[in-house]
């Protein structure tokens, strides 16, 4: 339970849902957690939850779509810890469901800014610090929608597909270092984010899963914990399916 002892882990969107589940598992394995989130109220709840489980955790309120805020935040963490071992790019939104003919450019940009641009910015600004120590683990939370597409979810599907491509590109670029970059592609997970999706769409997505159930947060978190560990040494630029059998490629 101490495979991540004293490692510094940054988790974006870690105040709720999958992000909080990942923070809990990484913390239980010894990591020191920094949650980056824009929701101060849920963020404080998350920190209290983690500290009650004897996990060392801190909250930083930041808009990760703005590079200057990211730079300030990273400098703050480095000044305190002198290193960053793990980056989990988890923050994301589904966006509004609807036909592409009904989707505004503004909505596409809103989803893109958090789901892809923020992932790019976090990687761009943290990798130099990992290179200084020639060690790092980056795990990007993509989606089965990025592999197969979901109907009436163009912004979400497109940006999650882009996260997969970004992961492959960065993973190959730094393959000769000790930095590993991978992503996971969950099917539908029972979190608050489902409230953003029309009920008929949720039903359709569950029906497409051979197991006929949603994925558990703990199932995603445990997979991420391995990808964030030193034991994950020969996989990089890879896509790890966790979709109840919906996609196995």
Query: Rounded mean pLDDT of the chain?
Result: 94
Task: Identify the active-site residue in 49, 112, 135, 156.
Answer: 156
Q: What was the pLDDT predicted at 188? A: 78
Q: Is 49 known to be catalytic?
A: no
199 pLDDT tier (thresholds 50, 70, 90): confident
HSE value, Cβ hemisphere, 13 Å, CA-based, for 5: 3
Which option is the CATH number for 8-237: 3.30.2290.10, 3.40.50.720, 3.30.9.10, 2.40.10.10? 3.40.50.720
Tokens of 205: 């997505």
Domain ranges of the chain: 8-237
pLDDT digit string, tens, across residues 96-125: 999 999 999 999 999 999 999 999 999 999
The percentage of residues in the chain with a pLDDT greater than 90, rounded to a whole number, is 83
Q: What was the pLDDT predicted at 193? A: 67
| Phi and psi torsions of 224, nearest 5° | -60, -40
Q: In what order do the strands lie in the sheet with 136-141?
A: 57-61, 32-37, 8-12, 86-89, 136-141, 179-186, 239-242
């Amino acid at each position: 339970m101490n495979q991540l002892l004293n490692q510094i882990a940054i988790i974006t969107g870690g105040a709720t849902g999958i992000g909080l589940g990942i923070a809990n598992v990484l913390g239980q394995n010894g990591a020191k957690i920094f949650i980056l989130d824009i929701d101060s109220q849920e963020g404080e709840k998350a920190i209290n939850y983690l500290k009650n489980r004897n996990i060392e955790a801190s909250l930083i309120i930041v808009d990760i779509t703005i590079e200057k805020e990211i730079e300030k935040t990273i400098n703050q963490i480095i000044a305190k810890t002198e290193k960053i071992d793990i980056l989990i790019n988890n923050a994301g939104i589904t966006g509004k469901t609807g036909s592409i003919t009904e989707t505004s450019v503004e909505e596409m940009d809103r989803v893109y800014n958090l789901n892809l641009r923020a992932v790019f910015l976090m990687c761009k600004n943290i990798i130099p610090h990992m290179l200084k120590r020639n060690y790092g683990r980056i795990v990007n939370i993509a989606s089965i929608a990025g592999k197969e597409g979901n109907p009436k979810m163009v912004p979400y599907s497109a940006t999650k597909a882009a996260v997969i491509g970004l992961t492959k590109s960065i993973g190959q670029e730094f393959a000769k270092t000790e930095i590993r970059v991978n992503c996971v592609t969950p099917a539908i997970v029972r979190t608050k984010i489902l409230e953003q999706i029309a009920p008929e769409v949720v039903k359709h997505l569950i029906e497409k899963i051979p197991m006929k159930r949603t994925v558990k947060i703990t199932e995603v978190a445990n997979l991420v914990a391995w990808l964030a560990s030193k034991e994950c040494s020969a996989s990089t630029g890879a896509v790890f399916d966790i979709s109840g059998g919906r996609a196995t490629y």
